[in-house]
Amino acid sequence: MSARKKVTVLTGGWSAEREVSLVSGKGVIEALTSKGYDVTAFDPPQDLTAIAAGLTPRPDAVFNALHGTGGEDGTIQAILDVMGIPYTHSGMRASAVAMDKPLAKRVVGTAGVPSPAGKIISAADIGKSHPIPAPYVVKPVAEGSSVGVIIVREGANAPPSSPGWAADEELLVEPFIRGRELTVGVMSRPGEAARALAVTEIQYATEFFDYTVKYSEGYATHILPAKIPESVYSGAMEYARLAHEAIGCTGVTRSDFRWDDSKQNTDGLYFLEINTQPGMTPISLVPEQAQLAGLSYADLVEWIVEGATCRH
């Protein structure tokens, strides 16, 4: 590391995931400071001129700790590309593809990664009738952290009502996969082969792995490494690596899976989505997996920022 490299950490933002981004950013700032970087925090507003001003003078690199709309969908990446500032994680195109769940599923499908069949329906139409036989999952096409996700169980008399969806919002409807929740972190730098870290099984008492469970202590148990058959473990690692490479991701990602353990080997293993800005909070999954692989939290953060790429 060059002495006193100037790094701006983007944290907060304007998405529904603002609060968890602030926690991720706090951890990243503390880690980079401990490693000797000259660190500045910047909470970007939804204003292009203000963002440009907040990144002037230009830092040596930007650590993008934003989550969700604006920070994870290619928007901030495009701004940084135009400004010629190196930044962490995936570029504009990969970020936009990954954030669009149906598109991401189609792309990873070309690499042989299976996912539940789904359909897109508008929020205005979802309440008229069941779009597919229950049980099924309804989720916004472009949100993260399980924001706006609901499960419709077997025997439900009525189709779902909106938990805050906009009337013109597009929703992805997928069959609900019974079984267990698995997740895999992947690391790579441009020009290097992607490396899957580990498989974590997430156990929780709530209906599904929602926002509260993901980011609140005491709601979920992380089994690391997951106690599952070797064929499923290695299959999840390979699927996550393939998804990361097919979409063109760099830095770190986290791919989420459901595994129907009533089926043999990987027959019941399904890709759900890929996160190009996985959480960096003290209880987040990727830092735990990196620790298992021999990287401390601070070392992981340093590895990420030293891989920051100028895509201008």
273 is known as an active-site residue = yes
Specify whether 157 is catalytic: no
Amino acid (one-letter) located at 103: L
Of 275, 284, 297, 307, which one is the catalytic site residue?
275
Give the H or E element holding residue 163.
none
How large is the greatest C-alpha to C-alpha distance in the chain, in angstroms? 64
Q: What is the CA radius of gyration of the chain?
A: 19
- Told to judge if 254 belongs to the known catalytic residues of this protein, a careful annotator would answer yes
The verdict on whether 230 is a catalytic residue reads: no
Q: Which of 148, 273, 302, 307 is catalytic?
A: 273
Among 71, 36, 41, smallest CA distance to 55 is for 41
255 noted as active-site residue:
no
Q: Let me know if 145 is a catalytic residue.
A: yes
For the chain, give the number of residues: 312
CA distance 281 to 22: 9
Which residue is catalytic, options 12, 17, 72, 239? Answer: 17
What does the block give as tokens for 57? 């003078």
What phi and psi, each to the nearest 5 degrees, are found at residue 5? -60, 135
Q: Which position among 254, 258, 270, 297 bears the catalytic label?
A: 254
Contact present, 146 and 208 (Cβ < 8 Å): yes
Q: Which amino acid is at 241?
A: R
215 is catalytic: yes
CA–CA distance, 163 with 177 (Å, rounded to integer): 21
- Is 256 labeled as catalytic in the residue annotation? yes
Strand stretches in 15-147, DSSP E: 38-42, 61-64, 119-122, 136-140
Three-state DSSP at 185 gives strand
Asked if residues 91 and 312 have their Cβ atoms less than 8 Å apart, the reply is no
Given 90, 145, 146, 255, which residue is catalytic? 145
**Pick the catalytic residue: 174, 181, 201, 256?**
256
Task: Classify burial at 206, counting beta carbons within 10 Å of its beta carbon; exposed 0-12, middle 13-18, buried 19 or more.
Answer: exposed
| Interatomic CA distance for residues 197 and 195, integer angstroms | 6
Q: Indicate which residue of 279, 284, 297, 307 is catalytic.
A: 279
Catalytic residue among 215, 233, 270, 297: 215
Residues catalogued as catalytic: 17, 145, 215, 254, 256, 273, 275, 279
